[in-house]
């Protein structure tokens, strides 16, 4: 116990902030992108739906290293798109925090998308029709009727997305690398210190990750709990 | 003057919808079994169902026209639609639901919505969620939510089917009251003849995507013309006929000959007779009487249902196999209630049932 407290004092806390920041930003991006994609996909006919759905889910099914490989292909500064980003906008992705965000977003996005889609599909279409006949705009119907009614499903999608984004390892290590203070996330730090045989530091980080994960789930359940009054138990 | 004109054509798979609803009646009813296309008609008018071709107009405002490619969004049609399940927004309070169709949350909109809730005796419930209301209360909120937007036309899709027994009867009366001072037309779709008989001035009867009969509601019930319409309006007894002369026909399934004062038109192929209209006769046989055997009696709270088989004159002794096999088909319904029920119970089963000429439905 004493060694833990001693450790906390001289510990480099940067992985925690990098992971949290990455998780939050990736979750925000995935949230809006996921809702948008889910809304688009459910309006497609069966064939287009299955193709789009497959593409959007792919990053979740692929090994993260494979996703990382593709991301490297796209963003490498030795390739067309990477050169274009660098020269035109002065944006570098490889070995930067932006790389962390992109990797985490790509891997975690399907969780948001799939949960949102499942929740949208459960919605009584009459609610949307009612909104239309009452003269509500499509945007207003979406944000005031569809999203709140799909609330529990969207909330669980958000929780999972955040958890996945925060813990991302494979694609992140390939695209962003493990640069201390810059791209060194908690997951990468744990892997690194274990390689060095430092199980105490690894254990310390593991406990912190557990606490954050539990707190995040608890928090979102608390927020959405108020709106779950209209859900029947069975 | 309010006027609805809806000429709607739509093909989905092997279902064809081809209806023309044209009416200036204040209360319009559409009667049909489930799957007849009656709800689809309503949804087409509201613009929440696609239409292949046709023309829809409410009070001279064109909502849809396939020739000139007019197809207003449901938002622009100003048509109120009440869904079977009311479709109240589950996460919004009653007040927010009623305000949903008004732009913005201004104090003015708020007091407008509150006025409407007061009118429907739902004040005091404005902070409740829809899930916390009874079926009847949900219906009132749904109607308030529609009325507050001042629609040019109100459509009611099976409004009472989600309610049971007692509440259904009460809400039917209440609905008429609530709609009393609404100046526009109201169209109600239902499979219940009682609801529509009470509600509508003009009635359209729909079957398999087409309109079978339209007209003033009471005259449709009095003279359904077609056998399917007679069935939908609740007629239970039917027979093929064979014409004997201008005033005489044979009701084939019932095994009797009927003589009418009036001339029987040539197009008549069937006759129908409502279960409540038979007149019991004891003793001497009179004209247009059926002699029968009792097959079954059902006791209902306020009436007695007798199921009888007509005794065919020529088959009265023994009866052929064909007739026996056919017995279920020719089960006639005779329903008695009130004073008549007490009388029949006291006096015993009558010897004959008499068909009154004015109650005989002449059908195609």
What domains, with CATH codes, occur in chain A?
2-228 (1.10.3720.10)
Identify which of A205, A223, A222 has the alpha carbon closest to the alpha carbon of residue A20. Answer: A205
Chain B: residue nearest A224 by CA?
A: B91
| pLDDT attached to residue B314 | 47
pLDDT band for A34, please (50, 70, 90 cuts): very high
| pLDDT attached to residue B28 | 93
Does domain B4-226 match CATH 3.40.50.300?
yes
Q: For B46-67, what is each residue's pLDDT tens digit?
A: 999 999 999 999 998 999 998 9
Per-domain boundaries in chain B: 4-226, 237-363
d(CA B364, CA B357): 17
Task: Evaluate if residue A31 carries a pLDDT over 80.
Answer: yes
Mean pLDDT of B279-292: 86
Mean pLDDT of A54-81: 86
In the 8-state DSSP scheme, what is residue A17?
Answer: H
Of A134, A149, A229, the CB nearest to B149: A134
Mean pLDDT of A22-38: 93
| pLDDT attached to residue A231 | 62
H-helix segments, chain B: 38-46, 74-77, 94-99, 107-119, 135-147, 165-179, 193-199, 217-222, 227-232, 321-325, 338-347
Backbone torsions φ then ψ of B51, nearest 5 degrees: -125, 135
CA distance A220 to chain B (A): 17
CB-based contact B39:B83 (threshold 8 Å)? no
Backbone torsions φ then ψ of B283, nearest 5 degrees: 85, -125
Sheet containing B352-354: give its strands across.
B279-281, B352-354, B289-299, B303-310, B332-337
Higher-pLDDT residue of B328 and B213 is: B213
CB-based contact B7:B63 (threshold 8 Å)? no
Q: Report percent pLDDT > 70 for chain B.
A: 95
Task: Evaluate if residue A233 carries a pLDDT over 80.
Answer: no
CA distance A33 to chain B (A): 23
Q: For B81-138, what is each residue's pLDDT tens digit?
A: 999 989 999 999 999 999 998 887 788 888 888 888 988 888 888 899 998 888 888 9
Other Cβ atoms closer than 10 A to B147: 20
Of B81, B91, B101, the CB nearest to A151: B91
Chain B residues inside the 8 Å CB shell of A139:
none
Q: Do A129 and B73 touch (CB under 8 A)?
A: no
Q: Do B74 and A132 touch (CB under 8 A)?
A: yes
Chain A residues inside the 8 Å CB shell of B92:
144-145, 148
SS3 category, A138: helix
**Contacts (Cβ under 8 Å, ≥6 apart) of A142:** A39
Using the Cβ of B97 and the Cβ atoms of chain A, whether some distance falls under 8 Å is answered with no
Q: Do A135 and B87 touch (CB under 8 A)?
A: no
């Amino acid at each position: 116990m004493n060694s833990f407290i001693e450790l906390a004092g001289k510990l480099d806390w940067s992985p925690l902030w990098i992971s949290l920041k990455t998780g939050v930003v990736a979750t925000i991006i995935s949230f809006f992108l996921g809702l948008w994609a889910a809304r688009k996909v459910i309006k497609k006919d069966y064939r287009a739906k299955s193709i789009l759905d497959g593409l959007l889910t792919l990053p979740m099914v692929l090994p993260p290293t494979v996703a990382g490989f593709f991301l490297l292909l796209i963003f490498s500064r030795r390739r067309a798109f990477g050169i274009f980003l660098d020269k035109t906008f002065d944006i570098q992705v490889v070995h930067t925090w932006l790389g962390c965000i992109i990797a985490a977003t790509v891997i975690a996005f399907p969780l948001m998308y799939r949960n949102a889609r499942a929740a949208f599909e459960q919605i009584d279409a009459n609610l949307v029709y009612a909104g239309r006949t009452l003269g509500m705009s499509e945007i207003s119907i979406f944000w005031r009727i569809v999203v709140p009614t799909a609330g529990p499903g969207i909330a669980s999608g958000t929780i999972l997305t955040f958890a996945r984004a925060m813990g991302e390892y494979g694609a992140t290590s390939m695209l962003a690398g493990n640069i201390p203070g810059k791209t060194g996330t908690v997951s990468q730090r744990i892997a690194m210190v274990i390689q060095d045989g430092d199980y105490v530091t690894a254990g310390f980080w593991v406990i912190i990750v557990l606490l954050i994960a539990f707190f995040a789930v608890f928090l979102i359940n608390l927020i959405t709990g108020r709106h779950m009054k209209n859900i029947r138990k069975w | 003057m309010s006027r609805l004109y809806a000429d709607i054509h739509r093909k989905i798979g092997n279902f064809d919808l081809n209806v023309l609803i044209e009416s200036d009646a204040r209360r319009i009813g559409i009667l049909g079994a489930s799957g007849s296309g009656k709800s689809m008609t309503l949804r087409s008018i509201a613009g929440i169902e696609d239409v292949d071709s046709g023309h829809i107009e409410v009070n001279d405002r064109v909502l849809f026209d396939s020739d000139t490619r007019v197809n207003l969004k449901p938002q622009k049609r100003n048509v109120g639609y009440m869904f079977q399940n009311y479709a109240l927004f589950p996460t919004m309070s009653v007040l927010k639901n009623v305000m949903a169709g008004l732009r913005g949350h201004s104090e003015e909109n708020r007091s407008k919505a509150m006025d409407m809730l007061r009118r429907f005796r739902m004040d005091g419930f404005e902070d409740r969620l829809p899930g916390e209301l009874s079926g009847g209360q949900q219906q009132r909120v749904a109607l308030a939510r529609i009325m507050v937007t001042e629609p040019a036309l109100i459509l009611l899709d099976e409004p009472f089917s989600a309610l049971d027994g007692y509440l259904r009867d009460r809400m039917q009366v209440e609905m008429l009251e609530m709609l009393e001072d609404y100046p526009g037309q109201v169209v109600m779709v239902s499979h219940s003849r009682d609801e529509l008989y009470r509600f509508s001035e003009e009635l359209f009867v729909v079957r398999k995507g087409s309109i079978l009969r339209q007209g003033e509601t009471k005259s449709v019930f009095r003279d359904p013309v077609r056998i399917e319409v007679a069935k939908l309006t609740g007629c239970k007894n039917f027979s093929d006929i064979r014409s004997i002369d201008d005033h005489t026909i044979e009701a084939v399934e019932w095994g009797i000959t009927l003589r009418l004062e009036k001339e029987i038109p040539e197009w008549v192929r069937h006759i129908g007779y409502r279960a409540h209209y038979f007149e019991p006769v004891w003793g001497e046989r009179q004209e247009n009487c059926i002699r029968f055997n009792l097959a079954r009696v059902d006791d209902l709270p306020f009436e007695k249902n007798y199921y009888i088989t007509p005794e065919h004159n020529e088959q009265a002794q023994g009866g052929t196999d064909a007739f026996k096999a056919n017995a279920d088909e020719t089960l006639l319904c005779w329903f008695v209630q009130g004073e008549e029920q007490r009388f029949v119970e006291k006096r015993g089963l009558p010897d004959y049932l008499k068909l009154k000429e004015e109650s005989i439905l002449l059908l195609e």
